[in-house]
Structure 1
Amino acid sequence: MNTTLQPVLFNHDEVADLYKEIGSSSLMGKTIERLQTDLEQYMGLPMDVPGQSEAGGYEHNKHRQNYHYINLAGRLFLITKDERYAEYAGQLLTQYADKYLQLDFHVQRNTNPPGRLFHQMLNEHMWLMYASLGYSCISTWLTGSQREHIVEYLFKPMLHVATEKYDYDFDRIHNHGIWAVAAAGICGLAIGERKYLEMAVYGLKGDGKAGGFLAQLSELFSPSGYYIEGPYYHRFAIRPLAVFAEVLHRHMPELDIYNYKGQVIKQTTQALLATAYPNGLFPALNDASKSMGITDMGVVVAVSMVFKRYGFDKNLLGMAQIQEQVWMHPCGQVLSEACDAEANIEPPFWPSVELNEGPDGTCGAQGFLRMQGNDKDICQLSMNYGQHGMGHGHFDTLGVAFYSRGQEVLREYGFARWVNIEPKFGGRYLDENKSYARQTINHNGVTVDEGCQNHFAVDRADRMHGKPHFFIGEGTELQAMSAFADEHYPGVGMQRTVMLLKSDQLENPLLIDLYRLTSDKPHQYDYSHQYQGQIIRTDFEYKTNSELHPLGDNYGYQHLWNLARGEAGSHALVSWLQGNSYYTWLGTSSRIDNEVIFTQTGANDSQFNLRHETSFIMRTTGKDLLFASALETHGYFNEAVEASVDARGKLNNIDVLAHNETGSVVAIEGEGIRFIVMVSNQPNVTDTTEHRIIINDKTYSWKGFLAVEQETK
């Protein structure tokens, strides 16, 4: 046997330590047991190396399963010493070697180059990385002829396609590029061809700048670690990043990869984890699934890796508890042991954070505020004032999402796509992803003249970004963030300030939102809120439409049924029940002719591609104006025991007192309580800037970014 080859991710001492975990009650022991059961069940099925299909078809999914179980069988062979696993992985690899060169390349149906196994090379690279990892675990167990057959007829041809046939795609700075270099580098190590590792690290030009893993780390992530395409694609890119980083730590220690570029690997992992809701799901920023969270395997790997390589963090213990597993690797064992040693593991509570965007951190940011209520519930408010997000970006600068009491209250739609459901357009993005999901009206923001930000022009949007105004994330009673977005609608200036306010008079932190618009010309402004639940009450009359028509004819409006509308006058109250909680929204503008429109998706959706989602929109017209709203979380409902408590919130009125270039002043009132909210509108405000606004002979003054005065009546 060829003893020069070795497992890419393990050494013999580490394997021996993992062997001791078999049958234990630790997270690692449970992980091994679950994965072993999973593998045994798959091995009970007929072995099949199929041909080709579109994304989501049987063949596509079977290839995905096969690479997963080749990798799993290889690792479990090392850990358990069960030779059945090595034999199984070897047989699968041999069958792929028999068949790979007999397959022609897929017919290209999108912009990504096609592979022989999959419709796009991205999936081929995923297959190659995992299959190479599994092969490295069994290579010394295989006979020389078996190794030669697999290397010559499978791995080398796949490397040729990746680095020569599609060389233009190999050095692409993109999540596809991270998978490409990780696959090639790991495969090169597994078969003893180190030149591919050099290509993977430094790129095809060998300079570490035009392509390769180092260039990916340098250019894809901002100084804060945020990934331009959002958490959904970040958790996808983090998997090869974390795995390949661990490979390089072991096989190219001279790189000192975990300290590269100011510990960018740590920064980007923490940035991803810091976007997650308290329940572990990621907000669906940009193209994203509503159900993707930290239990994704890429995040499991990253949590174990970052804990081992960068030290103890109690939030990572909380995340491991949610994941209920660790990476079956020495990194995961360290995390498992730390969990065992901790008497009480709290749910993760990441601090509020502003994640800057762009290679140098100057292209706006994504803001995340978190505050804990009196009942220990964690609410989270996010706002987008960063970059567009390349090909997966949505047109929603200054859009927000809000999470409270274990559920998303002001909701993101995510993508219009049914992943791997082949009858739904092959599992690819649907046409409605462009016509609705990415449109401005589909987000919690303001739409101008029923149009889309940047006219839905990706090239223009990629050149634009929000401008941070201020961020206050350390307070236990008041946190806030503010940003500008000018020229996203030509000729219209936008500024949004959102805050979380904790008061003894209220059950949960109050969300306060001030959205200011300025223009030399009059416009229609639609201030939209995507919610889910049952409308409980309003304080204005509205008329439901017995005959439904779309709200508009383009930019997403064509997909909205106009369900009902009513004149709200100077302000409006909308209350709804979602789950076991009540939410009451108070909204107003500096105009007195506001209208509220209730909508539901489904118009012009002949193939039922859209989910049925509801929203309400406050509409008004003007040049310069301020929308202001407060969202109160309150009460409790349990249908099983017919219990309803505090179905009416304490707040009942909101007024815009003033807004100008100096600042905005808003009053929020309710039962025995009154808040005066004062926010700076000055772009260059500092914490020492003095503000003074006179309204009806009364002077409102404050220092710094904002102030909230509470009066008890």
Structure 2
Amino acid sequence: MALVLMAAVTLSLAAMLLAAEWTSGGFVHIDVPESFPPHPRLFLDTQEIADLKTAVGEVDWLGEYVAELTADCEKLVAEPPKLPGEGEDGNKELGKHSVNLAMAYVLTDRQEFAKLSGDILRSYIDVYPTYPITLTKGRATSAALSEAGWVIHVAAAYDLIYNSGELSGDDKAGIEANVLKLGGEVLRICNHRYRSNWRNRAMSGMAAAGFAIGDHDLIDEALNGFVDDQGRLERDGFAQHVACAVLADGTYYERSNGYHRFSVLNYTFLMEAARHSGLDLYHLEVPSHDLDAGADVERAFGPPGVKTIRCLYEMPFYNAFSDFSLAAVASAGHYSLGEGDRAIAFEAAWKIYRDPKLAWIAQRSDRKPTCGLDLAWIDPYLPAGEFSFQPDAVVGITGRHENTCTLLPSGGLTILRQSADENAACVLMTYGKYGSGHSHPDKLSIVFDAAGKQIMPEVKYGGYSGDGFLGWTKQTISHSTVTVDEVAQAPQGLEDSPWTADTPDKPVRGRPVMFHAGERLKTFRADCTAAYDGVLLDRTIALVDSVVVDFFRCRSDSDHQYDYSLQIDGMLSDAAPALSDEEPGPLSDALGYCYITNLRRAKLDGAAGELTFDVKDAPDLKLSLLPVGETELVSGLAIEGPEGEQTSTIVLRAKGQSHEYMAAIRTADADCTGCRRVEGLAEGLLGVEIVRADGSKDVVISAETSGDHTACGVSFTGQVALLRAGADGPFELIDAAE
């Protein structure tokens, strides 16, 4: 609990630092309804309840769930719970009981269910006002996150049994004034006043309470935020979040798949409450804000425009690899689209947008409700839906999906996919703006996925507790990028808190430079000057068939130690040149480095390093390491997981003002018999040659500056070129990216 409270307080302070970025002007204003429909009206209306009743008798799984729900409610009636709840867990459980009983009532017309639900709500009339407000703005619970869930459950229960006859006029007045109004008020003062997943959760609770009782003030703040007497925006609402928290390409600004998913759910609660009172927020058009540019501050990949929240639902599809798995960028776990997830928000959105991919992801998820309220979102007759990476698409204003590759320039995420086949080779680079304490110091980090597995993943275990969160997960060396001087990238640096965030006067972001999705050459480039003072990090990745070619340039006017690291979900099985005998380690006492053990070393002074890794449930991984100049190769094992699992870490270490790394990454079944560095190129050019089984050769050239260049006797214009030659023939230009 102490760590949770520390995180909440630290994050709220970071949120306060963002206050200078916000003004009260420039946002869409959403009018609050003057009047409201009769109850039930919050998440289901009378017709929807009638339709759901019909479906219960027609759809087997739905009928089975409602039978289970009914049986559970019968047990509650037979042995009523203690009222009111005791402590946070007791209150949360009673909130869930209240809505389960209410839903069972409207589906079965059994009065005893409405009675017990009413008894639960009534029990809080005198007690809820006596609960102290906690540091993290909870009342029935410990914090705004859980308080909002409790308020949503209680508001939904109140709405569903409003006309049951079990609540007197005094009961209704007491529940509205002493429970739902006060619950909404505590959520208004959530410590996170601006864009934050805490804030959108609080907004969803405010909206539920407000629309349930027809409270204009709660609804207005949930929709439009709160402006003080001097015209300053003190707390944000839905209008501000769509403008600023939803980036121009549909990425939720914290850049975490987990918090993206959580925020989609919260906004859906809010929009469904509004929809049932006549407000269509699903199609609300909101102009761009400066903050929605994200990483693409220059708007190089698209000008400002108008967006709707629909892009927030669409973005996750294009942030997945061809096998539908998602990289665990920022504070997120490892999971796939829809799999293991109750995609109820996407099912609710399907009913509005009728987009087949929304039905598809809902069908991939576990659709069984976890409580009766989930029945409000489902479509009992949901079709199978469909989704493919094959068609080109636009995501939001600036997101581009072309030839199975995706550029999300605002969110700072780019995926190059070999094809739409689920076993295709794919590589992701992350370079986005530091969104919050949930972001990681991982600028220009890559993840490699092939044969249905993330072979070079984001390596992280557990949640926010334990030494490994600060000591490993929040350190740059744990990512597949470059660490300078054994210090994490900004803003983490040497900070001893894992919740460090950047500030408006010193933002941290990478910059998207070039994106090209050709037939044979798929390539992307980004750079970053904000990770380390006085250091330019510049990375270009190219995908040619199933081979990833990586060019990483480090530039500075001062001497530094540059550690190019790769994280691999496999064990080293072969190496050339031969590595030294194993030493226990750790690599150093620095955070992150202290978890790298079982060290073996070799010098790669102008020579190539060829490594093979045994990968479980996938072909072996082959790495050709092709650094320029004096470089040390270090192989080790990374932090140990909770069940003893470990991955491998490779570090290429060089010292000096500048250094250049090149690598070729592929699985053992790729059409590639070897890779080598191209020699004799002009200054500013780097090249990697890929030798094919038939003796033909592909050469990928990376130019430090875009322009006219010549390599291997071939002229091209741009930043990256693909050249090809037969077994004995000259090279010819296949494609070039400007």
Q: What's the counterpart of residue 449 of structure 2?
A: 403
- 1:604-660 CA distance string (max 9 Å, x none): x9xx7997443122223343332111222245xxxxxxxxxxxx9743332143677
Distance 1:199 1:567 in 2: 62
What's the offset of the Cα at 1:187?
0.7
Query: For residues 525 and 39 of structure 1, do their structure 2 counterparts lie closer, same or farther at Cα, with a shift above 3 Å needed?
Result: farther
TM-score of the aligned structures, taking structure 1 as reference length = 0.80
2:365 to 307, 313, 323: 323
What's the offset of the Cα at 1:190?
1.1
Q: What's the counterpart of residue 468 of structure 1?
A: 512
Q: What's the counterpart of residue 523 of structure 2?
A: 480
Q: What's the counterpart of residue 128 of structure 2?
A: 100
Would the aligned equivalents of 1:383 and 1:398 in 2 still touch at CA under 8 Å? yes
Would the aligned equivalents of 1:432 and 1:609 in 2 still touch at CA under 8 Å? no
Would the aligned equivalents of 2:320 and 2:327 in 1 still touch at CA under 8 Å? yes
Would the aligned equivalents of 1:8 and 1:247 in 2 still touch at CA under 8 Å? yes
Distance 1:350 1:100 in 2: 53
Q: What's the counterpart of residue 564 of structure 1?
A: 600
Query: For residues 349 and 140 of structure 1, do their structure 2 counterparts lie closer, same or farther at Cα, with a shift above 3 Å needed?
Result: farther
Distance 1:308 1:205 in 2: 34
Q: What's the counterpart of residue 382 of structure 1?
A: 428
- 1:70-126 CA distance string (max 9 Å, x none): 4444344434445454345334434444643444344x4xxxx24233332222122
- 1:368-406 CA distance string (max 9 Å, x none): 233327x65244422111101211111110011122222
- 1:504-547 CA distance string (max 9 Å, x none): xxxxx22221112222344322221111223332222113435x
2:653 to 619, 624, 627: 619
1:236 to 262, 265, 270: 262
Secondary structure of 1:681's match? strand
Q: What's the counterpart of residue 677 of structure 1?
A: 700
CA root-mean-square deviation: 3.6
What's the offset of the Cα at 1:480?
1.7
Query: Which one has the bigger helix percentage?
Result: 1
Query: For residues 405 and 256 of structure 1, do their structure 2 counterparts lie closer, same or farther at Cα, with a shift above 3 Å needed?
Result: closer
Distance 2:639 2:140 in 1: 37
Compare 587-596 and 136-145 and name the one that shifted more.
587-596
Q: What's the counterpart of residue 338 of structure 1?
A: 383
Query: For residues 69 and 561 of structure 1, do their structure 2 counterparts lie closer, same or farther at Cα, with a shift above 3 Å needed?
Result: farther
Query: For residues 228 and 254 of structure 1, do their structure 2 counterparts lie closer, same or farther at Cα, with a shift above 3 Å needed?
Result: closer
Would the aligned equivalents of 1:222 and 1:357 in 2 still touch at CA under 8 Å? no
Distance 1:305 1:562 in 2: 50
**Equivalent AA in structure 2 for residue 618 of structure 1:** L
Identity of aligned residues (%): 20
Would the aligned equivalents of 1:320 and 1:326 in 2 still touch at CA under 8 Å? no
Q: What's the counterpart of residue 294 of structure 1?
A: 338
Query: For residues 155 and 455 of structure 1, do their structure 2 counterparts lie closer, same or farther at Cα, with a shift above 3 Å needed?
Result: closer
Would the aligned equivalents of 1:471 and 1:480 in 2 still touch at CA under 8 Å? yes
Secondary structure of 2:117's match? helix
What's the offset of the Cα at 1:470?
0.8
Would the aligned equivalents of 2:624 and 2:664 in 1 still touch at CA under 8 Å? yes
1:577 paired to 2:614: yes
1:453 to 480, 483, 489: 489
Would the aligned equivalents of 2:491 and 2:501 in 1 still touch at CA under 8 Å? no
Unpaired segments ≥5 residues, structure 1? 53-58, 419-427, 503-508, 636-647
1:267 paired to 2:298: no
1:137 paired to 2:160: yes
Compare 88-97 and 174-183 and name the one that shifted more.
88-97
Compare 235-244 and 701-710 and name the one that shifted more.
701-710
Q: What's the counterpart of residue 599 of structure 1?
A: 636
What's the offset of the Cα at 1:11?
2.2
Q: What's the counterpart of residue 367 of structure 1?
A: 414
Secondary structure of 1:116's match? coil
Query: For residues 185 and 353 of structure 1, do their structure 2 counterparts lie closer, same or farther at Cα, with a shift above 3 Å needed?
Result: closer
What's the offset of the Cα at 1:439?
0.9
Give the 5 Å matches for 1:304-315: 304-313=347-356, 315=357
1:89 paired to 2:123: no
2:227 to 205, 218, 234: 205
Query: For residues 104 and 613 of structure 1, do their structure 2 counterparts lie closer, same or farther at Cα, with a shift above 3 Å needed?
Result: farther
Distance 1:208 1:50 in 2: 39
Q: What's the counterpart of residue 217 of structure 1?
A: 242
What's the offset of the Cα at 1:560?
1.9
Distance 1:330 1:129 in 2: 13
1:665 to 673, 687, 690: 687
What's the offset of the Cα at 1:573?
1.8
**Equivalent AA in structure 2 for residue 472 of structure 1:** H
Query: For residues 658 and 223 of structure 1, do their structure 2 counterparts lie closer, same or farther at Cα, with a shift above 3 Å needed?
Result: farther
Unpaired segments ≥5 residues, structure 2? 1-35, 288-305, 400-407, 494-499, 728-738
Query: For residues 544 and 18 of structure 1, do their structure 2 counterparts lie closer, same or farther at Cα, with a shift above 3 Å needed?
Result: farther
**Equivalent AA in structure 2 for residue 131 of structure 1:** V
TM-score of the aligned structures, taking structure 2 as reference length = 0.77
Query: For residues 555 and 573 of structure 1, do their structure 2 counterparts lie closer, same or farther at Cα, with a shift above 3 Å needed?
Result: same
Query: For residues 410 and 602 of structure 1, do their structure 2 counterparts lie closer, same or farther at Cα, with a shift above 3 Å needed?
Result: closer
What's the offset of the Cα at 1:485?
1.0
Would the aligned equivalents of 1:249 and 1:257 in 2 still touch at CA under 8 Å? no
Aligned length: 642
